[in-house]
């Protein structure tokens, strides 16, 4: 059975079983909070190469736990942080799934019901954006920490079907920009900057499983595994092993923890109705067209998103790409719920690369001060510099609690 496909970064509807390898560096308790660092994958990359990988059954805290944070970055074979101007972390997504304990190791003998996603509470359709954690080039400077006594509950045995076990996978996309003719275009997955197969447009399907047309100028589909950014003639560079290092902090679940639900919203969400049923059509990415001169006003991508269930806002931030101006989530009455703003680097060291997005700000409202009501229509606006850009993303992460500390 296939259970995530090569296009899972968009559709996430099928999972492609790939071998995974991870190991724990250490585990250190800090008061009641436990922390572990893991390294997963070890894949070779050379100048201009693109790697899109899925690693299933990754290391994750066992038992009934509350996750307090989940952070990740790219490292080389010595464990050194890799700067973004050499190797660009387009995204990493941590996705939960349940797997039948009797599932055959032979893919040909697997059934569709042997494994299935347990997505977040977000509004996107089908398998779009089902992950719980995940950022991109901004990862090192964007915190995922949740304040006490709140946590993301995982491993609750009452929510795992009998005969199944809860597991996690990581999907990542990495772009080596060393020697690229146009680094910026390479990180935006511009199709004309890639060495695409001659039959690319004849065999590639879009997010709706329709034949990709030549009007598609760039994005996830042009950054497939083993493709190559066009190189400066004569450039020579070494190949190296690359891994994703991730750090998880958690507590054992008890009556003192208050669960938050994870919602990932998308500024491309095209909401429509079919009678009383609300339908969502998230695209996960979009193109900002050329305007002839740009201008000072940013390009705004906007979605009005009805929330079936609400709660108290505990955490908010955005996943976006370089060129971002900000992203803002508004309530139905126009009040600002959270604005996430970028931080750009000024140096050469990893985590402070000049001109690169190195972090997005996080909102931590006083618990109880901001409540999203059941059925409320939220407005999400993602803003970028008004210039041609492919593969732009405007994902907004919010954690909502249904109750507050007594």
pLDDT score for 20: 38
The answer to whether residue 229 is domain-embedded is yes
H helix or E strand, kind and range, residue 201: helix 200-203
Longest C-alpha distance within the chain, in Å?
66
> Rounded to whole angstroms, how far apart are CA atoms 312 and 221?
37
Q: What angle do CA 59, 61, 66 make, to 5 degrees?
A: 140
Residues 112-147, buried b or exposed e (16+ Cβ, 10 A)? eebbebbbbbbbbeebbbbbbbbbbbbbbbbebebe
pLDDT of residue 291: 78
SS (HEC) of 297-321: CCEEEEEEEECCCCEEEEEEEEECC
Q: Output the pLDDT for position 8.
A: 42
Query: How many angstroms separate the CA atoms of 227 and 224, rounded?
Result: 6
Q: Is residue 56 included in any domain, yes or no? A: yes
Place of tokens 């099928």: 14
Q: Is the backbone peptide bond immediately before 125 cis, with ω within 30 degrees of 0? A: no
Helix (H) or strand (E) holding 202: helix 200-203
Q: Measure the CA–CA gap between 312 and 355, rounded to whole angstroms.
A: 35
In terms of DSSP bridges, do strands 277-279 and 87-100 run parallel, antiparallel, or are they unpaired?
unpaired
Q: Is residue 16 part of a domain?
A: no
Residue 241: inside a domain: yes
> What pLDDT score does 252 carry?
96
97/115 Cα distance (integer angstroms): 7
Question: 371 by DSSP, 3-state: which?
Answer: strand
Task: Give CA 305 to chain center in angstroms.
Answer: 19
Residue 382 half-sphere exposure, CB side, CA atoms within 13 Å?
Answer: 27
Instruction: Pull the structure tokens for residue 258.
Output: 């208050």
Query: How far lies 300's CA from each of 18, 159, 209, 384, 393, in Å?
Result: 38, 39, 27, 7, 12
At residue 292, the pLDDT reads 59
Residue 60: which residues within 8 A CB-CB, separation 6 or more?
154, 167, 168, 248
pLDDT given for residue 145 in this prediction: 98
Task: Round to whole Å and give the CA distance between 88 and 269.
Answer: 27
Residue 12 lies in a domain: no
Cα atoms in the Cβ-side hemisphere of radius 13 Å centred on 132:
24
How far from chain centre, in Å, is Cα 362? Answer: 16
Cα-based distances in Å from 340 to 77, 248, 396, 397: 33, 23, 9, 10
The total number of structural domains in the chain stands at 1
Asked, for residue 238, whether it belongs to a domain, the answer is yes
Question: What per-residue confidence (pLDDT) applies to 66?
Answer: 98
CB within 8 A of 113, min separation 6: which ones?
A: 100
Contact partners, residue 395, CB within 8 Å, separation at least 6: 129, 264, 265, 266, 267, 284, 318, 319, 320
- Quick check: is 10 in a domain? no
Supply the pTM of this predicted model.
Answer: 0.91
Closest-CA residue to 138 (of 78, 71, 234, 196): 71
Say if residues 385 and 355 touch (Cβ distance below 8 Å): no
Domain assignment of residue 362, given as a range = 34-401
* Residue 99 lies inside a defined structural domain of this protein: yes
Per-residue pLDDT for the chain (406 aa), expressed as one digit of tens each? 333 444 443 343 333 333 334 444 434 444 589 999 999 989 999 999 999 999 999 999 999 999 999 999 999 999 999 999 999 999 999 999 999 999 998 988 999 999 999 999 999 998 899 999 999 999 999 999 999 999 999 999 999 999 999 999 999 999 999 999 999 999 999 999 999 998 898 888 887 788 888 889 999 999 999 999 999 999 999 999 999 999 999 999 999 999 999 999 999 999 998 888 899 999 999 999 987 555 689 999 999 999 999 999 999 999 999 999 999 999 999 999 999 999 999 999 999 999 999 999 999 999 999 999 999 999 999 999 999 999 999 999 999 999 999 8
């Amino acid at each position: 059975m296939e259970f995530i496909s090569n296009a899972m970064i968009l559709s996430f509807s099928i999972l492609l079983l790939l071998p995974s390898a991870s190991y724990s560096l250490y585990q250190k308790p800090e008061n009641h909070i436990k922390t572990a660092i893991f390294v997963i994958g070890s894949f070779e990359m050379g100048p201009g190469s693109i790697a899109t990988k899925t690693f299933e059954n990754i290391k994750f805290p066992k038992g009934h736990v509350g996750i307090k944070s989940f952070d990740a970055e790219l490292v080389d074979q010595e464990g050194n942080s890799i700067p973004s101007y050499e190797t660009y972390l387009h995204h990493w997504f941590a996705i939960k799934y349940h797997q039948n304990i009797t599932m055959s190791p032979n893919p040909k003998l697997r059934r569709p019901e042997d494994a299935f996603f347990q997505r977040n509470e977000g509004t996107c359709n089908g398998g779009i954006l089902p992950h719980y954690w995940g950022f991109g080039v901004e990862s090192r400077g964007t915190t995922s920490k949740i304040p006490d006594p709140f946590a993301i509950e995982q491993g609750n045995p009452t929510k795992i079907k009998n005969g199944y076990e809860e597991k996690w996978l990581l999907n990542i996309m990495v772009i080596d920009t060393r020697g690229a003719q146009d680094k910026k275009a390479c990180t935006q997955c511009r199709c004309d900057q890639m060495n695409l197969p001659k039959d690319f447009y004849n065999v590639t399907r879009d997010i709706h499983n329709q034949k990709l047309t030549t009007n598609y100028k760039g994005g996830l589909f042009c950054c497939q595994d083993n493709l190559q950014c066009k190189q400066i003639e004569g450039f020579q560079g070494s190949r190296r092993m690359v891994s994703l290092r991730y750090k998880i902090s958690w507590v054992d679940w008890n009556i003192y923890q208050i669960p938050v639900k994870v919602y990932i919203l998308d500024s491309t969400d095209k909401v429509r109705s079919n009678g009383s049923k609300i339908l969502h059509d998230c695209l996960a990415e979009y193109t900002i067209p050329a305007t002839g001169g740009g201008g000072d006003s940013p390009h705004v991508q906007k979605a009005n998103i009805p929330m079936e269930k609400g709660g108290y806002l505990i955490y908010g931030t955005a996943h976006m790409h370089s060129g971002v101006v900000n992203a803002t989530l508004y309530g139905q009455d126009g009040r600002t719920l959270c604005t996430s703003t970028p931080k750009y680097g000024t140096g050469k060291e990893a985590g402070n690369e000049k001109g690169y997005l190195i972090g997005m700000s996080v909102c931590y409202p006083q618990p109880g001060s901001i409540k999203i009501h059941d059925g409320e229509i939220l407005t999400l606006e993602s803003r970028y510099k008004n210039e041609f850009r492919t593969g732009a993303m405007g994902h907004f992460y919010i954690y909502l609690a249904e109750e507050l500390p007594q």
